Structure 1
Amino acid sequence: MHIPVVRAQHVIDNIGVLRDAGVPIERELERSRLPAFIEQTPDAYVSLPRALDWAWRSSRELGIMEVGFLAGRATSLSRLHPAVQRAVIGAPTGLSRIEALSHQVHRENSALQIDIRREGVDRRVLCEVRGFQNSPFVGFAEWKAIVGVINIVRSAAGSDWCPTEITFVSRGRPSHAAREAYGNARILTGQQHCSILVAAADIAQICIGRRSSAVDVNGPTSPPRTPFGLGDAWDFVTAVRALIRPYLAQGHPPLSLVAEIVGMSERSLQRRLAKCGATYSDIVQDARFAIASDLLVDSDLNIADIAFAAGYENAPHFSRAFKRLTGMTPRDYRGALV
């Protein structure tokens, strides 16, 4: 079973669009059971189905395609996961940057798959949100993917570049602003694939910021460092652990909440974890340790604040649990790394 997750930054972009439009979103956020502190944790992961459902419920007055387009426009390289940024920036041409994105895009949306297909002298960049082709909410995710790829092509072809064609699986009608933003591009909805059509020559160019230095277009790029707990693909345990993390600041997330988020009964969730050689308590402990160790290394927060962020009742409880896992107190652990 694949649990689709999405990086919280993409939900935050939708929140910003809706707030700017004066849409009251707090009630729907609470109803969605998304993490209460989602706006403070852009690199956390949340349930993609819940994020799309929340966006749809909150966007009824504006429409999926309008909110998706506006949130997509907020997309920039600086808002992507750090590992994705490194991979994309390290590639010299538009084509190699799209390929780098395709290899790392699971860090943004585990259901998103990016492929490149030849069409004569053109290339079609496919942005498929797997498992959501029949979802009425898929337009939100499609716009984010499309604008992200367009921005990458523009890093090679220039800021005014527009694709020849943009296609969406979503059947919503693009807004007038969306059509104006992409010049003479054909924008088609209700299609078999979500994609953009690009001239091969446009993405073969060396990216603008790298033209002043010699670049080996065929040379390999250094692979990005893999962060804790995230490999090249999302397995079941990795996804559950990631979903738990942003809820820990609210305390110990009950099994019933996590089962609801992943769309399973409590018993089914426990059985599935057992098949993977884990228990729910193991997953919560791993998630807590990951948060605590990251904050001990990368922040100046005091021990009590770190304990709260990792979901512990108090600092002494946190210190005892941390020492059981590492043989060191949190203070000693931090000191050993200085």
Structure 2
Amino acid sequence: MKLLQAVDIDERMMQEPELMIAEHQLWTIASEAATSTGKFDIGFDAGSVSSVQMHGTLRQLYDQKTLIERLVTFCNMAKLEYSRADFFVRPVWNGLVFGRNAIVGDREQVRQVELYVLQLMLETVRSALGPSWAPKRLNLQSDHHLDLEWLAQSAEARLRFAQPVTEIHIERGEMVSEAVVLPGPATHDQMVPTTRAIAALVCTYLHDSRLSLQFIARLLGLSDRHLQRDLQKEGTSFSEILSGERTKAAIDMLKVPELTIFEISKSLGYSNQAHFTRAFIRSTGMTPSQFRRGV
């Protein structure tokens, strides 16, 4: 308590305890606490005792039914909770990356803020994949510290330091093997999906051979006909959403020179490379090879 009193904390924060500690306040608190106690992972401890549900608007995460919807909600809501926060979710060829762009500050400030936020991000993923889930690959902006290696929680995990951004990698197999729709009673009217929610699910399962209208409908607890009708009301269709998500993913993967066009087409579920090329031309006006040369 003396430590907190020694720091100039905004009076509004004291009056509204539901609000989260702003970054500049956390930096000051963490730097002084780390120096005075010699405990240099205080940011992670702070996140451990302050769950996502305690952070104002972030409690809306638990209204969402799927992993991808919870990650997208976190990214949107965190903009209201943090100062200078920029979170993202993006598909990669073997799953998803859930991350936060670079934190600006000195080494200790970066580390404490990163560890604080990382705990909340991990909690969000575990809310859907289970409390024992641990990332097999974790990129940290912080410099290497021996006392941070336990974050990986596995000898097989890859933990990389001094990276441009913070990234939690969620593998496709982990998403496929876990229950994607979280338990909880809901009527059909309460579960009418939006185009954005369907696109998020398609993005999650883009590399899964089971991906189809029937598969997505089953995940949502809807009949095929209900899902088709809901999408028609929003002026779109499953095939249009699938085509759009495939194109966005293809554009991202074409920027990776190590991936061949054949590998990309196969990964995106096309029956052959020619089919992929025709679809890409319809969406972008150029072949995958032309796009790659332009990039």
Q: Please, what TM-score do these two structures have when normalized by structure 1?
A: 0.48
For 1:62, the aligned partner's letter is: G
How big is each residue's C-alpha offset from its partner over 1:143-194, in whole Å with a ceiling of 9 and x where there is no partner? 2222222222222222211111122111151526x61673343222211111
1:182 to 134, 144, 153: 153
Matching of residue 78 in structure 1 with residue 49 in structure 2: no
Among 186, 206, 209, the residue aligned to 2:180: 206
Please state how far the C-alpha of 1:116 moved relative to its aligned partner.
1.4
Instruction: Name structure 2 gaps, 5 residues minimum.
Output: 196-295
Deviation at residue 31 of structure 1 after TM alignment:
3.8
Letter in 2 for 1:125: F
Counterpart residue number, 1:54: 29
Structure 1 residues 47 and 214: alpha-carbon distance in aligned structure 2, compared to 1, 3 A threshold: closer
The reply to whether residue 94 of structure 1 matches residue 94 of structure 2 is no
| Secondary structure, aligned partner of 2:86 | strand
Q: Determine if the alignment matches structure 1 residue 154 to structure 2 residue 129.
A: no
Q: How many residues align?
A: 191
Deviations 1:85-144 (A, max 9, x none): 12x1222111110001111102221222111122211211111255x1655311222122
1:185-196 aligned within 5 A: 185-196=157-168
What is the CA-CA distance between 1:44 and the residue it aligns to?
Answer: 4.1
Partner SS for 2:164? coil
Is 2:98 the counterpart of 1:122? no
Residue identity opposite 2:180 in structure 1:
I
- Segments of structure 1 that go 5 or more residues without pairing to the other structure are 1-24, 222-338
Counting only pairs closer than 5 Å after superposition, residues 198-277 of structure 1 correspond to structure 2 as 198-203=170-175, 205-210=179-184, 219-220=193-194
State the Cα distance separating 1:42 from its structure 2 match: 2.0
Name the CA shift for 1:62/1:48 in 2 (closer, same or farther; >3 Å). Answer: same
What is the correspondence of 1:313-328 to structure 2 with a 5 Å cutoff? none
Aligned partner of 2:83 in structure 1 is 110
Provide the rounded CA distance (Å) in 1 between the counterparts of 2:144 and 2:159. Answer: 11
Partners of 1:50 and 1:100 in 2: how far apart? 24
Are the aligned partners of 2:58 and 2:77 in contact in 1 as well (CA < 8 Å)?
yes
Larger RCO (CA under 8 A, 6+ residues apart): 1
State the secondary structure of the residue aligned to 1:160: coil
State yes or no: 1:42 paired with 2:17: yes
- How far 1:207 moved relative to its partner? 4.4
What is residue 287 of structure 1 aligned with on the other side?
Answer: none
**8 Å CA contact 1:156, 1:202 repeated in 2:** no
Aligned sequence identity (%) = 16
The list of structure 1 runs, each at least 4 consecutive aligned residues, that deviate by more than 6 angstroms after superposition, is 214-218
Q: Equivalent residue of 1:166, what SS? A: strand
